[in-house]
Amino acid sequence: MQAASDTLFRTLADPTRRALFERLCRDGEQTVWMLTGDSGVSQPAVSKHLGVLKLAGLVQDRREGRETHYSAQPKALAPLIDWMSHYGAFWRERFDRLDSLLNRMDQ
């Protein structure tokens, strides 16, 4: 589980990969060629990033003739959702601030 989270976070920490993943979430299935179009990155670089996204389970590929089609697998974000549930630290810090505010407030 820890290793899976590390892979996911590291994969998404790259802005180019994140942009590719978000585009697939938004626009549905795309070919490498379509993704290269306005990414500002070369086609081999896009392919490489897609390979990393695939290893993290974030995208799935499907070959059709000479083209490979990629689609987003948002379920792979589950460890990120788990990680967000560590809201505990956030609330404890806010409780401290509330405590200090109450001490400053009139009755």
Residue 56 Cβ, how far from another protein at the closest point, in Å?
13
DSSP string, 27-39: H--EEHHHHHHTT
What is the C-alpha separation between 92 and 10, in angstroms, rounded? 27
Residue 66 Cβ, how far from another protein at the closest point, in Å?
28
Q: Which residues between 55 and 74 bind another protein (CB under 8 A)?
A: 72, 74
37, 43, 67, 91: residue in contact with another protein (rule CB under 8 A): 91
| Dihedral angle of Cα 44, 76, 29, 61, to the nearest 10 degrees | 50
Residue 35 Cβ, how far from another protein at the closest point, in Å?
15
